Structure 1
Amino acid sequence: MPRRTATMLASTLLLIAMLCAGLLIKVPYAEMSPGPTVNTLGEHDGEPVLSIKDRRTYETSGHLNMTTVRVTGADYRMNLLEAVGGWLQHDSAVVPHSTLYPENKSAKEVDQQNAEEFSASQESAKVSALRELGIRVPSYIIVGSVVKGGASEGKLHAGDLIRTVDGEPVKDPKGVADIVTKHKPGEKVRFTIIPAADVKAAQKAGKKPSPRDARQVVVGTKKAEDDGRAIVGIQPAAGHSFPFDIDIKLADVGGPSAGLMFSLGIVDKLTREDLTGGSFVAGTGTIDDKGKVGAIGGIQMKTVAARAKGAKYFLTPSANCPSASKDKPDGLTLVRTGTMDEAMDALEKIRNDDTAALPRCKAG
């Protein structure tokens, strides 16, 4: 066999072997890519994303789109070729599998955490929106989550309103921990609560939870593994009593990153002023009860998704600006946003066509 033919044959066989190896070799990575983007002012799967009852609402125009990131499943294992392809693509990111799915958590636990964060973000979005409009929102302390296998499992439930701990009223989540840790492991703590179901019923009716629904629950403490303090296995959080019903419906979305856009959508529906002036604005960012906007993950995937959908402006958490600016899609203006007030100010500039004055993101 001629040397040239033999060389070509050997090269072809080597290439085939490498391709086969690439398909068969599994690597510990996951892929992130642009996900769906939904207008919080519109509908999704035939239902309004935001529904407000017992309060006057106004017509809106334009877009206030929340953005998402699509990720490979917890049980999916990429092969080497897929990983290399993802690294080379402009609009995807390959990250260690443990970044998205920590080894100490099951896929179910990760999904549950994402669902809880999404629910909490909706709560904060409502609070920040109403407070932006000067509407009072009374707050109280609730059981944010219950640790699986912890002392409170089956006794306390997420959403229970905590009135007192050992007879002492609590004004913030830290106050619950302060009282519990006064005990020694094994001692009992007495909670006065209003069950979550009664709290939700009161909220639906636009009323405050009634003290008449309160009952006592006694929980034995356990010893914390890290420092030996007494714990009851709950995460206290702030709950709120809203003056009217605000319902956010968006299936198959998790995590806290849509908080800012939900909040702006609520404000837009409750005010006569058209916030966007008909412009296509997208964005992302967590938000807390005081209107502070926080950083999120997958920012470059979200800007790509927003621009592909037609967005011209993207409200970007200040902390994400350096990363987002590195590979900004053409035609998309990244607007630096640190608070709800700054987002509202940016929207005013957009609808008044004063875009030169917008605070833009800069590369780090």
Structure 2
Amino acid sequence: MPRRTATMLASTLVLICLLIAGVLIPVPYAEMSPGPTVNTLGEARGEPVLQISGRKTYPTDGHLNMTTVRVTSADYKMNAVEAVYGWLAHDNVVVPHDTLYPDGKTEEQSSQENAEEFSQSQESAKVAALGELGVPVVSRVVVGSVVKGAPAEGKLHAGDVIKAVDGVPITEQSGVAAQVTKRKPGQKVEFTIVPAKEAAAAEKAGKEPTATRKVVITTTTSEEGDRAVVGIQAGTDHVFPFTIDIKLADVGGPSAGLMFALGIIDKLTPDSLTGGRFVAGTGTIDDKGKVGPIGGIEMKLVGARNAGAEYFLTPADNCATAVSDIPDGLTLVKVDTIDDATKSLEKLRKGDTASLPSCSKS
């Protein structure tokens, strides 16, 4: 066999072996790609995303789209060929597997965490929206969960309203831990609560729960061994003056908070927020209307533009990353609070696009 032919054959065999290895050998990476967008003013699967009853609502137009990112599952084994293809593809991002699923988190654990964050983001969106409209919302500190086997098990229950700890009134979630940790492990701490069932009954009747009882719990040492704990996770419960339901399945995480809040505001006010424009966006939101950064901003920009968005409400802390690769025809609008967002939408509605706050690399 001629040397040249032998060399070509050997090279071909090596290439085939490399391709086979690339397909068979898993690599520790995961992939992110643009996900679907949903208009919070519209419908999903045949029913309105935002359903409000007990309060007058108004017709809306335009779009206020929340955006999503698709990610490979926790147990998906990406091979080297797929990783290289993902790195070369413009609209996809390949990242270390641990970036999306840290500490060996399973698919089930990740889904549960995303569902909890999504639920919390909906509550915060409602509070922030009503706060922007000047509608009062009653907030109460409650027992969010009780650790199995902890001193509080059987004495406190999820949903119990915490009125005071050691006689000190509790108005913020952080106040519970602040009072408990004043004790030393082994000392007793007194909770003044309204039991969950009585609180729920009072809420249904439109009244403030007042039937309190005292519960004494002996503290134990935290896992870190440096403070007293009773084994509960405090949370915040809100009592709204009317019903706001958010109906959107198969979505998780906290990043839709801003767009849900804006959708609620639009439905509760006579003027159109968008002026008929196609606006998309993203961002977490807290009860006070502060907008926070999210992951996968590049993917969300692509998904928004593919859906037809002209303007994208971008969390201020995501701006530096977002401006590195802006899809043609999409204008980024920087927002830090829900008030920033509503003021920017007002400028957009009036055609004053030149004064919209824009993202920069710095």
> Does TM-score exceed 0.5, indicating one fold?
yes
SS for the counterpart of 1:64 is strand
Alignment of 1:246 with 2:252, yes or no, is no
SS for the counterpart of 2:103 is coil
Q: 1:173-188 to 2 correspondence within 5 Å?
A: 173-188=173-188
Q: Which residue of 2 aligns with 1:52?
A: 52
Q: Which residue of 2 aligns with 1:10?
A: 10
Distance, in Å, in 2 between the alignment partners of 1:331 and 1:210 is 53
Alignment of 1:99 with 2:75, yes or no, is no
Q: Deviations over 1:251-302 (max 9, x none)?
A: 1211111110000000000000011111100000011111111111110010
Distance, in Å, in 2 between the alignment partners of 1:218 and 1:81 is 61
Distance, in Å, in 1 between the alignment partners of 2:217 and 2:272 is 51
Q: Which residue of 2 aligns with 1:33?
A: 33
Q: Deviations over 1:140-189 (max 9, x none)?
A: 21234445665445654544321222343211122111221122324444
Greater Cα shift, 97-106 or 338-347: 97-106
Distance, in Å, in 2 between the alignment partners of 1:253 and 1:170 is 33
Aligned pair partner of 2:342 in 333, 341, 344: 344
CA RMSD of aligned residues (A): 2.1
Distance, in Å, in 1 between the alignment partners of 2:9 and 2:323 is 47
SS for the counterpart of 1:361 is coil
Q: What's the CA shift for 1:323?
A: 0.2
Alignment of 1:112 with 2:103, yes or no, is no
Unpaired runs of 5+ residues, structure 2, are none
Alignment of 1:298 with 2:270, yes or no, is no
Q: Matched residues, percent identical?
A: 66
Greater Cα shift, 104-113 or 68-77: 104-113
Q: Aligned AA for 2:71?
A: V
Q: Which residue of 1 aligns with 2:42?
A: 42
SS for the counterpart of 1:192 is strand
Q: 1:22-171 to 2 correspondence within 5 Å?
A: 22-103=22-103, 105-147=105-147, 150-152=150-152, 156-171=156-171
Q: Which residue of 1 aligns with 2:220?
A: 222
Alignment of 1:277 with 2:279, yes or no, is no
Distance, in Å, in 1 between the alignment partners of 2:272 and 2:40 is 14
Alignment of 1:267 with 2:265, yes or no, is yes
Q: Aligned AA for 1:255?
A: G
CA contact (8 A) 2:98 2:104 kept: no
Q: Aligned AA for 2:347?
A: K
- Number of residue pairs matched by the alignment: 362
Q: Aligned AA for 2:163?
A: R
Distance, in Å, in 2 between the alignment partners of 1:58 and 1:85 is 47
Q: What's the CA shift for 1:195?
A: 4.5
Distance, in Å, in 1 between the alignment partners of 2:17 and 2:107 is 34
Distance, in Å, in 2 between the alignment partners of 1:17 and 1:104 is 31
Alignment of 1:210 with 2:209, yes or no, is yes
CA contact (8 A) 1:54 1:245 kept: yes
CA contact (8 A) 1:86 1:92 kept: yes
Distance, in Å, in 1 between the alignment partners of 2:304 and 2:289 is 23
Q: Which residue of 2 aligns with 1:258?
A: 256
SS for the counterpart of 1:14 is helix
Distance, in Å, in 1 between the alignment partners of 2:305 and 2:134 is 33
Q: Which residue of 1 aligns with 2:356?
A: 358
CA contact (8 A) 1:335 1:358 kept: yes
SS for the counterpart of 1:296 is coil
Distance, in Å, in 1 between the alignment partners of 2:157 and 2:9 is 67
Aligned pair partner of 1:286 in 279, 284, 288: 284
CA contact (8 A) 2:91 2:302 kept: yes
Go from structure 1 to structure 2 and tell me whether the alpha carbon gap of 1:220 and 1:44 turns closer, same or farther (over 3 Å shift): farther
Distance, in Å, in 2 between the alignment partners of 1:273 and 1:218 is 53
Unpaired runs of 5+ residues, structure 1, are none
Q: Aligned AA for 1:314?
A: F
